[in-house]
């Protein structure tokens, strides 16, 4: 059983809301990213999602786009992200999911990528723009290294697409609550609960819901029907604000995750 499966089994057994916390690797720099990873793990993030900075994002909103720009300017890359994770993995208890686009992986080479991700202690990989229909080979290689391929589902996903993601995916399914790009919103999308219900009707896999979630009440609301809430842009913005003020970005990130997990 993978670390992701163990985490979601624990959350379900204890009836606890889960939090997937997203950061961009290398923002504001790689050294600070290492401290941020440890801080949000200590603050209670159940799963940590690490975005690989990419110059041509498709689904990232302005907050994460700016974070990627800062990280790339600071010298971050897929290889350096994996080296960072290898360095800090022993200090982090939570499962780590690498969030990336297919292009950097193909440029590195899938076999080299899988080998380095395995050595770095990566638990799951989400290849955002890789269609489920074309993900079989990547899934086999990752599974062979003990790494879960996390599949993405959206409000427009058909029953057939949900079934395919359930067959190929491992760890959990990532459901995006709304179409468009990432970014904090004032409320959870009205269609989110229906999307999760449609997925649940076809698979017992855990479901994490993301896109637009930014507050403790969003986490609590989402986890009434999903297994976990994904918070990205709001956390990335908190890190950026702290760094701009000259404050400790890792400390600010830890406080933000603690706030997100505040009970009602």
- CA nearest to 40, candidates 262, 252, 263: 252
Cβ burial, residue 218 (10 Å; 0-12/13-18/19+): buried
Cβ burial, residue 126 (10 Å; 0-12/13-18/19+): buried
Known catalytic membership, residue 115 = no
Known catalytic membership, residue 60 = yes
Q: Which of 27, 41, 46, 60 is catalytic?
A: 60
State the alpha helices, DSSP H only, in 22-152.
30-42, 62-73, 78-88, 102-108, 110-120, 136-144
Q: How far apart are CA 85 and CA 192, in angstroms?
A: 32
Q: How far apart are CA 31 and CA 53, in angstroms?
A: 15
Residue 154: how many CB atoms within 10 A of its CB? 16
Q: Which of 27, 41, 46, 49 is catalytic?
A: 49
| Residues with catalytic roles | 49, 60
């Amino acid at each position: 059983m993978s670390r992701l499966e163990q985490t979601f089994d624990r959350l379900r057994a204890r009836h606890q809301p889960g939090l997937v916390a997203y950061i961009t690797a290398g923002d504001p720099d790689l050294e600070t990213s290492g401290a941020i990873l440890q801080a949000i793990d200590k603050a209670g993030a159940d799963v940590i999602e690490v975005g690989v900075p990419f110059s041509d994002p498709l689904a990232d909103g302005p907050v994460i786009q700016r974070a990627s720009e800062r990280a790339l300017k600071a010298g971050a890359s897929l290889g350096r992200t994996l080296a960072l994770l290898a360095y800090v993995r022993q200090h982090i208890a939570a499962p780590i999911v690498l969030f990336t686009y297919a292009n950097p992986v193909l440029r590195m080479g899938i076999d080299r990528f899988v080998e380095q991700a395995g050595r770095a202690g990566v638990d799951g990989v989400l290849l955002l723009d890789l269609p489920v229909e074309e993900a079989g080979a990547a899934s086999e290689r990752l599974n062979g290294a003990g790494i879960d391929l996390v599949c993405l589902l959206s409000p427009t996903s058909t029953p057939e697409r949900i079934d395919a993601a359930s067959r190929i995916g491992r760890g959990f399914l990532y459901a995006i609550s709304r179409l468009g790009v990432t970014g904090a919103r004032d409320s959870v999308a009205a269609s989110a609960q229906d999307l999760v219900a449609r997925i649940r009707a076809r698979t017992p896999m855990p479901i994490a819901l993301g896109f637009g979630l930014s507050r403790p009440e969003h986490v609590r609301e989402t986890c009434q029907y999903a297994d976990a809430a994904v918070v990205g842009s709001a956390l990335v913005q908190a890190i950026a604000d702290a760094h701009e003020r000259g404050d400790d970005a890792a400390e600010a990130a830890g406080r933000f995750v603690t706030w997100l997990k505040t009970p009602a």
